[in-house]
Structure 1
């Protein structure tokens, strides 16, 4: 195997690898970067445990670092792979800003949360993780919104927990993403300042 990438790397120096690390290594990824990312995820998860079931006034100070870059748009849909996003949204998503109060009034009941049900609806782990992630100033992608014209409402295609943290942390405006083909129908339901 002369000339192989494995010939140039001291595998012993990398130490024991998890299965995920071994696969990443074989795919040419940097193990040190992967380990640093995992350590950060572990720290965020540990911090998130402190916020679980905590009322919003006791949350840390939250400064939203909205990532509006084209490369981050796929994160509007939870767990969307780059290839899948490129196939579904070849022209990308359209960015707009809404008044959170008006938007909340037009949001489908299946997505909207009241304070009394803050920790009873949705995934407690994801909500606590979103609080911890945002508290660190990490870049966060706006939620993806779809219209429900028959009911004059909107719903999420991804980002329910991001919206929930924004709502209960007192944000005034919320950035949203929309499929460009649905933008006009969304704007007929809620006022959107399109970028």
Structure 2
């Protein structure tokens, strides 16, 4: 048995994970690194075949967001547990990409033909592509409406862009319960 790297223990604790969860995520990240380097900045025609699988589980909701950072004064396990519990309240919906796209705020909209690799974080986009190509399930995007009728991403901009660049027509999303009525007025949503 290999000795445990103390940095792994520190990283796991800081993320509110046990060591096995941290090491499993680290192994997945390492396995995707080479694929990311092959994909980044490539035209869509050079991408591997992508078949999106969606993780709609309660446990998978945490991956719809960028990971939270817990303050050193926090008990990271308790803080993570509270944060994960708050995610159980999110509502799941499905929407056609072509209906969502015109309502995106100017900060969220991407013209795939001209801005695919030049806006956002190219490494994150390549990671999404590599993740999906490897058969891994992705968590849905998270959206929120504003009073002017535009929609913004709370999480998932790069997942959305990868879907938009492929033949994906429907995308699952999460929203906060208070946003569901306004989103229903703006979009035709399947809340099943």
TM-score normalised by the shorter chain: which range applies? Answer: 0.7 to 0.9
CA contact (8 A) 2:54 2:139 kept: yes
Greater than 6 Å deviation, 4+ residue runs:
none
Match of 2:85 in 1: 86
Match of 1:112 in 2: 109
Match of 1:163 in 2: 160
Change beyond 3 A, Cα 1:57–1:160? same
1:43 aligned residue (18, 31, 34): 31
Match of 2:142 in 1: 144
* Partner Cα separation in structure 1 for residue 5 and residue 44 of structure 2: 39
> Which segment is superposed worse, 166-175 or 35-44?
35-44
CA contact (8 A) 1:61 1:135 kept: yes
Secondary structure at 1:96 match in 2: strand
* Partner Cα separation in structure 2 for residue 184 and residue 149 of structure 1: 12
* Partner Cα separation in structure 2 for residue 79 and residue 182 of structure 1: 22
Which structure has the bigger radius of gyration? Answer: 1
CA contact (8 A) 1:106 1:153 kept: yes
Does residue 189 of structure 1 match 2:186?
A: yes
The answer for unaligned runs of 5 or more in structure 1 is 1-12
Q: Deviations over 1:134-178 (max 9, x none)?
A: 11111211000100132x211100000010101101211111111
* Partner Cα separation in structure 1 for residue 109 and residue 127 of structure 2: 19
Deviation (angstroms), 1:73: 1.7
* Partner Cα separation in structure 1 for residue 162 and residue 168 of structure 2: 9
1:131 aligned residue (113, 129, 132): 129
Deviation (angstroms), 1:104: 0.7
RMSD across aligned positions (CA): 2.3
Change beyond 3 A, Cα 1:149–1:29? closer
The answer for unaligned runs of 5 or more in structure 2 is 69-79
* Partner Cα separation in structure 1 for residue 4 and residue 19 of structure 2: 15
Secondary structure at 1:174 match in 2: strand
Number of aligned positions between the proteins: 178
* Partner Cα separation in structure 1 for residue 8 and residue 23 of structure 2: 10
State the TM-score, normalizing by the size of structure 1.
0.82
Deviation (angstroms), 1:30: 5.2
1:178 aligned residue (175, 185, 192): 175
CA contact (8 A) 1:149 1:189 kept: no
Deviation (angstroms), 1:28: 9.5
